[in-house]
Amino acid sequence: MPELPEVETVRRGLAPVMEGEVISEALVNRPDLRWPFPEGMAARLTGQRVLALRRRSKYILADLSGGETLLIHLGMSGRMLVSGDPLGRFVHDHPAPEKHDHVVLNMGSGARITFNDPRRFGAMDLMETGAEAGHKLLSGLGPEPLGNTFDGPYLAERLAGRRTPIKAALLDQRVVAGLGNIYVCEALFRGGIHPARLCKRIGRARIEALVPIIRQVLEEAIAAGGSSLKDFRQADGELGYFQHNFDVYGREGLPCRTPDCGAVVARIVQSGRSSFYCPQCQR
């Protein structure tokens, strides 16, 4: 599933062709994805100007001129691809319709945004603009890891005394929003912390030091266009490239990249998810 850097990369790719533009026609080709689409979604989107594109955790939010906000979740295999941009930022011609093109937004500029989702684990919804904090998918989310409210003291206080493995704690969306398996593995490697170590057994200074590390990993991933492992594509159809910079994720049995370490990357399963780490560098 796309994590924060992949979703932010898509948002940034969509912004030039959506913000300030009118949705001249919205086509909804099925009644649902993971959940049913809101009633009359095509009619409610058609004719609306996109005022702003935002991101909350792993969701894209499009604020519309009519006072509603479109929520978009990519799910496991969802892609939002742009074609036909008249300003030349996206040179792709409109492709022939595909089987899994579930929602198509034709913009007044001539650009087209196609939501393609073969596995149909994605979602779209409409809500009143400004009411997202009460939405069932957004309520209870913790602070954004790239935002000002996510800092060392906050993280140390949230994790103090918890008998939870640090990996699980950082994946808890109530603690911090948007982190996923890949980037937590990478951040813990850089922080030198074993993914199974209990939060209560990690000193406050080490936990606080994780905050700038998490920010750095996410920012590097965004700059690289995210990570393409299976289905992820940027809005222009290109792959992300951060997977080439992984230190531990997916590298089980390969040498640790820390100079003179000598160990190999190991893998354990935590709550059904693979955790990759260096047994020498991470304690």
Whole-angstrom CA distances from 62 to 10, 71, 167, 209 are: 13, 7, 31, 34
> Looking at this protein, which amino acid is placed at residue 91?
V
With tokens 């290109």, the residue in question is: 238
Tokens of 33: 């994805």
- 215, 252, 273, 279: which is the annotated catalytic residue? 273
Burial class (CB in 10 A: 0-12, 13-18, 19+), 148: exposed
User: Catalytic pick from 11, 58, 233, 251?
Assistant: 58
Task: Please give the domain boundaries of the chain with CATH numbers for all domains.
Answer: 4-134 (3.20.190.10), 152-277 (1.10.8.50)
- Six-digit token string for 77: 């295999």
CA distance 280 to 259: 12
DSSP letter at 236 equals T
Identify whether 8 is a catalytic site residue.
Answer: no
| Per-residue model confidence as pLDDT tens for the chain (283 residues) | 678 988 998 898 899 999 999 999 999 999 999 999 999 999 999 999 999 999 999 999 999 999 999 999 998 888 888 888 665 555 556 777 778 999 999 999 999 999 999 999 999 999 999 999 999 999 999 999 999 999 999 999 999 999 999 999 999 999 999 999 999 999 999 999 999 999 999 999 999 999 999 999 999 888 877 554 444 344 444 434 345 578 999 999 999 999 999 999 999 999 999 999 999 999 9
**Tens digits of per-residue pLDDT, 213-250?**
999 999 988 887 755 444 434 444 443 434 557 899 99
Q: Are 186 and 248 in contact (CB under 8 A)?
A: yes
Say which of 2, 143, 165, 195 is annotated catalytic: 2
Distance CA(122)–CA(116), nearest Å, equals: 9
pLDDT at 242: 45
Q: Catalytic site residue 2?
A: yes
- The helix/strand/coil state of 276 is strand
* Residue of 3, 21, 68, 132 with catalytic role: 3
Nearest to 100 by CA among 127, 81, 126, 73: 81
